Each structure stands twice: as C-alpha cells, then as structure tokens.
C-alpha cells in the first residue's frame, strides 16, 4: 500500500513574503510575466518535465529559495539545455528575477512563488536531476532549528523526485547548519556525501557565480561550505 503524502495542513511556512514597495516595472513583471512562467499546481505535473519548456531541454534543475536570483540566472544563461525551476515566495526577489529573465530572454526557466514543499509534492517521481538549496535561512536560534528546510520529511521529498544518481547541492556559511545537513543526510538511506577530501566541500561548485550573500558572509569573516549529496 502506498504511503499517503504529508498533508500541507500539517506544515507551516516561515519567512517574509514582502519587503520594500516594488517599482512600477517590477510590479508589471509580476502581473504580466510571472503568470506565463508560473507552474500550475492545480494541474497534474506532466510525466516528462521537459515539456514545461518551449524549447527542448535534457535535464531538470530545481532551485529552492533563489534569493536575488544571481545563481539561477547565471546557470540558465550558460546552460540552455537544462530546464530550471526556481521557487521563491519573497515577492521582491521574484520581481528582480523576472526582470533578469526578460532582459536575457531566458526560455528555460519556470517559477513558483509560494512554499517549495508544494512543488516538491507536485513533481513526479524520479523527475529531477539537480536540487539546489543555497544559503537557506539558517534559523540560528536552537529553538527555531525545527524550521530549517533540511529535515527528514523534506529529504524524503528530495529522494522521491531525484533521479538515481541525481545531486542535492547545499551551500551555507553557518557552521551549525552545515553540520545539521551533514548529519541529516548521513542518517538518510537515500543520500551519500560525495566529498573525499576537504577541498571538495571548501571549493565552490563548478561554474559557481558567487552571490551577494556569499560576498557579505566573507566580509563578515564567515567561510562557506559547499556540500554535494548523491541520490543512491
């Protein structure tokens, strides 16, 4: 018997939805461009996610919480053969990314502007090649650690949608969250850490464009870890 998926009513979203007022052009992007790129979760996901994109793609890459969008835009521009799904509930970040998508005429990006777990539950089994979780909110206070996105239930979600051999890439400058992620993935039977030496997690991912958040962390004296886990 198939185990029922976790009900959304049992989970909560933590984080801001809006920041400073949008400029007129940003508001226009949200009104007119986002609807054409937004995933329609009211419809069943296509068996082949490549059909979400107007041009042929060979791989699917999901980025959860893309922030300023620097990484997502960089990857999408350099790799048109990959279809990217970006999830970000923060309105200002979404508006900024939409401007970049329009300016660069990117056709290989689809978006969702709400809770990432809704997308994870919508995606078909073994349909995604990469999952990026880059500098997620660390919830540094111990009493808030349960809010961290890396959890047993979300790793179960990752394991379901990742193809065998697919990769989960995690980056953070917060030691407690790095250790938290290592422990959770170590204890999950579906994932193996790919690192063999220290340089493997101290060196940014191949093709890494850096981000403003990463630059801020370095200015404040914090180093980053770049963890890659393989779906076994």
pLDDT digits (tens, 9 = 90+) for 190-200: 999 999 999 99
E strand or H helix that includes residue 230: strand 225-231
| Mean pLDDT (whole number) for 98-116 | 97
Instruction: Confirm if 93 and 67 have CB atoms less than 8 A apart.
Output: yes
Q: Is the predicted pLDDT of residue 16 greater than 70, yes or no? A: no
Separation of alpha carbons 46 and 36, rounded Å:
17
| pLDDT of res. 66 | 95
Strands of the sheet with 82-87, listed across from one edge: 109-112, 82-87, 59-64, 128-134, 162-172, 225-231, 191-193
Of 92, 106, 100, 93, give the one whose Cα is nearest residue 134. 93
Average pLDDT rounded to a whole number, residues 17-35: 78
Q: What is the pLDDT of residue 48?
A: 96
The reply to whether 137 belongs to the active site is yes
Q: Annotated catalytic residue: which of 79, 114, 115, 137?
A: 137
pLDDT tens sequence across 51-87: 999 999 999 999 999 998 999 999 999 999 999 999 9
């Amino acid at each position: 018997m198939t185990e029922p998926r976790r009900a959304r009513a049992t989970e909560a979203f933590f984080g801001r939805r809006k920041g400073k007022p949008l400029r007129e052009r940003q508001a226009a992007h949200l009104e007119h461009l986002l609807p054409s790129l937004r995933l329609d979760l009211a419809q069943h996901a296509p068996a082949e996610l490549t059909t979400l994109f107007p041009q042929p793609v060979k791989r699917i890459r999901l980025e959860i919480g893309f922030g300023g969008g620097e990484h997502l835009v960089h990857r999408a521009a350099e790799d048109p053969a990959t279809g990217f799904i970006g999830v970000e509930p923060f309105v200002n970040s979404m508006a900024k990314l939409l401007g970049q998508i329009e300016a660069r005429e990117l056709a290989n990006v689809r978006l969702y502007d709400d809770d990432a777990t809704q997308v994870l539950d919508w995606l078909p089994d073994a349909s995604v090649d990469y999952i990026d979780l880059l500098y997620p909110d660390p919830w540094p206070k111990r009493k808030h650690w349960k809010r961290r996105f890396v959890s047993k239930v979300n790793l179960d979600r990752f394991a379901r949608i990742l193809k065998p051999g697919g990769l989960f890439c995690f980056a953070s400058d917060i030691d407690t969250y790095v250790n938290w992620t290592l422990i959770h993935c170590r204890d999950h039977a579906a994932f193996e850490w790919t690192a063999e030496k220290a340089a493997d997690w101290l060196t940014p991912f191949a093709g890494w464009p850096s981000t403003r958040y990463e630059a801020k962390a370095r200015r404040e004296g914090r180093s980053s870890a770049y963890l890659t886990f393989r779906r076994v």
